[in-house]
Amino acid sequence: MKKFAFIFHPLDLGYIHRQFPWTRVLPDSALKAALRALPPGVISRITGIGSARAEAEGWFINVPLTADQMLSLPEEIVIKKIVRAGRLAEQLGAQVLGLGAFTAIVGDAGTEVAKQLHIPVTTGNSYTVGMALAGIRLAAKKMCIDLKKAEVLVVGANGAIGSACSRILAREVNYLTVASRNDRRLEGLARRILRESGLAVRIAADLKSALTQADIVISVTGSATPVIEPQDLKPGAVVCDVARPRDVSQEVAKARPDVLVIEGGVVRVPGAVDFGFDFGFPPGTSYACMAETMILALEGRQDSFTLGRNLSVEQIDEIMQLGNKHGFELAGLRSFDRAVRENEIKAIRKQAEFSGSSRRFS
Ligand SMILES: NC(=O)c1ccc[n+]([C@@H]2O[C@H](COP(=O)([O-])OP(=O)(O)OC[C@H]3O[C@@H](n4cnc5c(N)ncnc54)[C@H](OP(=O)(O)O)[C@@H]3O)[C@@H](O)[C@H]2O)c1
C-alpha cells in the first residue's frame, strides 16, 4: 500500500464560519489571530484509491491560515507552518506530500518547503495544467468554438500554472493574449512563446477590455478576491476558472446565462476512494493537484515532481500519461460546484446567440 498526504487550508474566513457557525460572533481579527496560533492537524484519512497496478491511501492535513493570511504574513511564518504540516505527514508514514491551494504558491512554489522535508513534495501544478487544458478543449467543443479561430486569454499568465497553460496553448491557437499585473515579466513570457512556438502573443494593456473580447479565458491568478465580474465577459465565452479562491465572481453564475464558466481540473479518481472529508466535490472526484499527489504515490516516485514556477511541457505530458495509466480521467464539466448538463450548454449557446454574440462558431 502506497501512502501520501495532501495539505490544504481554509480559503477564507467564510469557510471557517460555515464549518463552525459559532465563530461568526468573533471579530475577523480575533479569528485570524486564533488561526495563526493553531498548529496544523490531520483532517481525515483517505482510503480506497486503487488502480489496476497499485493501491494508495493517505491523509488530508490542514494548515490553519486563510489565502489572505498566506499572502500578507511574513513568508517565513507561513513556510514554518507548512513545514510543520509536512513533518506531521512524515510521522504518519506518507511517502509523498502534495501542497494544495496557496501552500503551493509560497516559498518559490514549494521549493523552500521541499528543502526542509525528507519526503518528495509536489505542488500538483503539472496535472492541474494538463487537466485544465483538457477541460477547455472539451468545453470549447461543446460550445462549438474552434480553438484555432478563437480569441484566447490567459489571466495570471505570469504564474506557474498560467505561464505553462500559455506556452502549451500557443501550440494550438492562433490568437493568444496574456494578462497579469507585471508587464515586464509578461514581455519575457511573450518572447519565450515566440521562440518556442513561433506565435506572437499579445499582452493585455487592460484586463477588462481583453476580457470583453475573449472567446476562451483561462483564469489562474493568485488573487485572494475575484478578478472577473459579470459585465467583463463576451456573450458565448468559455471561462475556465482554475484559481482557488475563485477568480470568477459568484455573481457571474446569476447574471450571465450566456457564458459557460467551468472549474479547472476536476478529476475522477480510480477505485472506491473515500476522502473522509467533504471539500465540495461529488464522490470519487478530486482537484487535479490532489490527483497528481495520488498518481505519484501509486507510481512510488522517490523524487519531488513539480516544484518552482518553471513547469516543463515534458513533465506535464508525463503526468498526463501516468494519470491515464492508473485510470484517472477528466470528470466532465463542473460550474460553480455542480455538474454542467448537455441541455444547459445548449441553453447557454442559445442565450449567447440571442445576446448578439460576434463569436466565431466553427
Ligand atoms: N484547481 C486546482 O486544482 C488548482 C491546483 C493548483 C493551484 N490552483 C490555484 O491556481 C492559482 C494560481 O496558482 P499558481 O501556482 O500558478 O500561482 P503563482 O505562480 O503565484 O501565479 C499566480 C499569478 O497570478 C498573478 N496575480 C496575483 N495576484 C493577482 C491579481 N490580484 N490580479 C491579477 N493577477 C494576479 C501573479 O502575477 P503578477 O504578479 O504578474 O500579477 C502570479 O504570477 C491559485 O489560486 C491556486 O490556488 C488550483
What is the DSSP code string of 135-164?
Answer: HHHHHHHHTTB-TTTSEEEEETTTSHHHHH
Closest ligand 1 atom to residue 132 Cα is: 1
Q: Is the CB of 81 under 6 A from ligand 1?
A: no
Ranges of each domain in the chain: 2-126+267-330, 129-265+333-354
CA 335 to centroid of ligand 1, rounded, Å: 19
Q: Is the CB of 309 under 6 A from ligand 1?
A: yes
Q: Is the CB of 267 under 6 A from ligand 1?
A: no
Measured between alpha carbons, how far is residue 190 from residues 123, 161, 204, 350 in Å?
25, 15, 11, 35
Closest ligand 1 atom to residue 243 Cα is: 45
Closest ligand 1 atom to residue 182 Cα is: 40
Length of the chain: 362
Please, what's the b/e burial string for 41-69 (b: 16 or more CB within 10 A of its CB; e: otherwise)?
eebbebbebbbeeeebbbbbbbbbbbbbb
In which order are the strands placed within the sheet that holds 285-287?
285-287, 266-268, 329-330
Q: Is the CB of 227 under 6 A from ligand 1?
A: yes
61-113 pLDDT, tens per residue?
Answer: 999 999 999 999 999 999 999 999 999 999 999 999 999 999 999 999 999 99
Closest residue (by CA) to atom 23 of ligand 1?
Answer: 159
pLDDT of residue 354: 85
Distance of CA 66 to the CA centre of its chain: 16
Closest CA to 56 of 211, 341, 274, 359: 274
Beta carbons of 126 and 104 less than 8 angstroms apart:
no
pLDDT of residue 359: 46
CA 68 to centroid of ligand 1, rounded, Å: 13
CA 155 to centroid of ligand 1, rounded, Å: 9
CA 210 to centroid of ligand 1, rounded, Å: 18
- What architecture is the 129-265+333-354 domain classified under in CATH? 3-Layer(aba) Sandwich (3.40)
pLDDT of residue 356: 65
CA 180 to centroid of ligand 1, rounded, Å: 9
CA 220 to centroid of ligand 1, rounded, Å: 5
CA 124 to centroid of ligand 1, rounded, Å: 13
Closest residue (by CA) to atom 9 of ligand 1?
Answer: 243
Measured between alpha carbons, how far is residue 230 from residues 1, 176, 248, 255 in Å?
47, 22, 9, 6
Low-confidence ranges of the chain (pLDDT < 50): 357-362
242-295 pLDDT, tens per residue?
Answer: 998 899 999 999 999 999 999 987 899 999 999 999 888 899 999 999 999 999
Measured between alpha carbons, how far is residue 285 from residues 42, 131, 199, 221 in Å?
20, 13, 35, 23
pLDDT of residue 361: 44
Between CA 281 and CA 45 the distance in angstroms is 17
Q: Cell 500557443 sits at which residue?
A: 170
Mutate to test the pocket of ligand 1, among 178, 181, 295, 316 (most ligand atoms within 8 A of CB): 181
Strand positions, DSSP E, the chain: 2-8, 41-50, 55-62, 96-99, 121-122, 151-155, 175-179, 202-203, 216-219, 238-241, 260-263, 266-268, 271-274, 285-287, 329-330, 334-335, 338-339
pLDDT of residue 199: 98
pLDDT of residue 224: 86
CA torsion 219-233-251-229 (nearest 10°) is 70
Q: Is the peptide bond before 245 cis (omega within 30 degrees of 0)?
A: yes
CA 156 to centroid of ligand 1, rounded, Å: 6
Helix (H, G, I), strand (E, B) or coil at 195: helix
What is the DSSP code string of 216-227?
Answer: EEEE----SS--
Closest ligand 1 atom to residue 227 Cα is: 32
DSSP state of 361: B
Cell numbers found for residue 62: 490542514
Closest ligand 1 atom to residue 264 Cα is: 1
